[in-house]
Amino acid sequence: MEKLDNQEVNGRKVISYGGAFIALLIGSGFATGQELMQYFAAYGYMGIVAIALVFILLTVLAIELIYAGYTQQFKNPNDVYTYFGGKIGGKFFDIFAVFFLFLSYTVMIAGASATAVEHYNAPSWLGGSLLAVVVMLVVILGLNKIVDVIGTIGPIIVLLTIIVGMITIFRNLDGFATAGQRLQEALDVGIMQVASSNFVLSAVSYVGFCLIWLAAFVSGIGKGANSIKEGNHGMVLGALGFSLACLIMTLAIFVSIDQVHDSQIPVLILAGEIHPWLATIFSFIIFAGIFTTAVPLLWNVVARFAEERTQKYTLLTVALGIIGAFIGLALDFSQLVNIVYVLNGYIGAVLMVIIIFRGIQRRIAK
């Protein structure tokens, strides 16, 4: 019990863990605004309720994952699926997670490509190729270095995203009066993708695909934390910061729905409305957001098959990084977000129910 009774909390570590949590979730879908438009803004004001539900579920799930990683000290990060799902269920989620995480990495490549094309009119292969090279180099360094790198970048991205969102909202306050009608018109003619049939299912699906991203990564953070309390504080901070950024940017997209409903990169449109130079600056922020998610996604897949600091780990990182880049460059970004995230979100929702149930069981047993 000595390990569980440890209450050591390092403030710098808490911020780093929270930043890494945020950075993992701010991928191409969030940073570009595409997933915020499909999962939240498309439901109007009910999208706000969906975001509140997302915050609650992400917090509860992250705390359970920290506990599992800290107490079990998993040798392989994907052992977390066996811990929660048992031998058969764990094997299913393990295989599924590897497949989905790799697909999600290809979505990051597609997002980088779409951003480079839309803002810089660059060749379609350039943005995704550059991202793949940088991601592979960082993944080779291992998990500890990944947490340090993306944990620093994550809060900066959130802060700048919130600033752009707040400015957009205050510049378009009169848009709240007509945004609902304009949103419905865009939905009626089918020029805007929607994640699910209602906002509750959308929130559950959103948390589901986030959970597949988070499970092994967060349990790995729990394994290295000084205490459960330290890990939990980091997760609450991360969930709160991420949810706040979601709320502000969703409202910004909602009041500007006329300008962004058919855009691949709606956040660039919003930044450009404020000032053209801001759009250029924000294009780099989007690339940074995509990078901070692509790195742990690729790491999760590689770490499933090889130990860090081995030749096999390095070779597998390069091979999978290149294959994923070719796939991402060949497919359409908005359709990838709608198909890959939504369908896999419901599988993640099943894992979500299992983790919450196991958490309730653990507390009753105590």
* Average confidence (pLDDT) over 84-95: 91
* pLDDT value for 179: 84
For residue 106, the domain's CATH number is: 1.20.1740.10
- 54/162 Cα distance (integer angstroms): 18
- 221/69 Cα distance (integer angstroms): 7
* pLDDT value for 297: 87
Tell me whether residue 2 is in a domain.
no
pLDDT at residue 238 above 70?
A: yes
* Average confidence (pLDDT) over 65-79: 91
* pLDDT value for 2: 44
277-289-61 Cα angle (round to 5): 145
* Average confidence (pLDDT) over 13-20: 90
**Contacts of residue 364, Cβ cutoff 8 Å, sequence gap at least 6:** none
Tell me whether residue 3 is in a domain.
no
Tell me whether residue 235 is in a domain.
yes
Asked which of 65-69, 100-104, 338-342 is least confident by mean pLDDT, the reply is: 338-342
* pLDDT value for 229: 94
- 220/233 Cα distance (integer angstroms): 15
* Average confidence (pLDDT) over 214-231: 92
- 103/287 Cα distance (integer angstroms): 18
If we measure between CA atoms, which residue out of 59, 60, 54, 90 comes closest to residue 72?
90
Tell me whether residue 307 is in a domain.
yes
* Average confidence (pLDDT) over 183-208: 83
Q: Which residue has the higher pLDDT, 61 or 307?
A: 61
Phi/psi region, residue 227 (left: phi>0; alpha: psi -120 to 50; beta: rest), is beta
Residue 317 structural domain = 9-365
* pLDDT value for 81: 93
Tell me whether residue 297 is in a domain.
yes
Tell me whether residue 139 is in a domain.
yes
- Percentage of the chain modeled with pLDDT above 90: 41
* Average confidence (pLDDT) over 204-222: 89
* Average confidence (pLDDT) over 209-236: 91
Residue 4 pLDDT level (bands cut at 50, 70, 90): low
Residue 118 pLDDT level (bands cut at 50, 70, 90): confident
* Average confidence (pLDDT) over 270-297: 84
Tell me whether residue 259 is in a domain.
yes
pLDDT at residue 337 above 70?
A: no
Over the stretch 125-177, which tens digit does the pLDDT of each residue have? Answer: 899 999 999 999 999 988 777 877 777 777 787 788 888 899 999 998 888 88
* pLDDT value for 1: 42
251-328-346 Cα angle (round to 5): 55
Tell me whether residue 140 is in a domain.
yes
- 19/357 Cα distance (integer angstroms): 27
| Total tally of structural domains belonging to the chain | 1
